[in-house]
Amino acid sequence: MPSDAIAQPVTAELTGREARWERHNSERQKRILTSAVELIEERAAGAEVSVQQIADRAGLAKSVVYRQFSGRDDLDRRVRAFVLGQFAAALDASMSISVGTLDQILTRTISAVAEWITEHPRIHEFMGTGPTDYDDESIDAISSLKATIADSARTTITEVGRSVGIDSSPFDSLPFAVVTMVEGTLTHWVRSTDPKPSREEIVADLAKYTWYMFDGVARSSGLQIDPHVELSTLIAELVSSDGGTSRPD
């Protein structure tokens, strides 16, 4: 997006993902950010979206848009943060361990990422052009998104490990390794001009690779986990056996 001068930022003394999302909760800012996202999605590859176009789509005067942000860079950063917050919130539902086998959880989570990259190519492209408003210049929004997803997965693994009395530290680096593999592979897949597998096939492959990585770490820790049994059932078995192994493959 091009650089226009914009005056006076809107700030909030809040922290965490919920706080970041809260900054976008005013009706006016939602209209501006949503309009920017819609225009980015509609543009041709490499085309720019101006502040005037965003204002027109939002039904606001350009001067009103100017008053919401400290500059064009701030606007672009806030758009990336807005998209990241929406996608991360949606992905949380797919990553929920309350319903499904491990295989199903992996498949639906990877499928959600594949669907987003496939159906929002211009947004995915834009997210890689710079940081959010809470990251420094060295971290683009895609990297921030990967770190957010990996942190969420690592937190879940740690909490499960604590609840069943298992040391989860061997899994600490696994979430980021998986997220990087999945995002990189899907990006390559969606941009490939050669004959390529269907979305369902690439998702199935990535779910399989992810399971192999997870299973390898689990076995190195003395655990045998059946990916086709409800995860809640496996956790209950581990709790009842004081951290013993679940049913073998």
Q: Would you list the domain boundaries of the chain?
A: 14-69, 83-243
The average pLDDT across 3-30 equals 53
In the CATH scheme, what is the code of domain 14-69? 1.10.10.60
Residue identified by tokens 């390898």 is: 216
Q: CA 162: distance to chain centroid?
A: 25
User: pLDDT tens-digit profile of 99-119?
Assistant: 999 999 999 999 999 999 999
The average pLDDT across 10-25 equals 47
pTM of the shown model: 0.80
Contact predicate 129/122, CB 8 Å: no
Quick check: 94 pLDDT over 50? yes
**Do 14-69 and 83-243 agree at the fold level?**
no
Q: Which CATH architecture has domain 83-243?
A: Orthogonal Bundle (1.10)
Structure-block tokens of residue 139? 């971290």
More confident residue, 168 or 24: 168
Other CB atoms within 10 A of residue 127 CB: 23
Quick check: 48 pLDDT over 70? yes
- Opening angle at CA 22, ends 17 and 24, nearest 5: 110
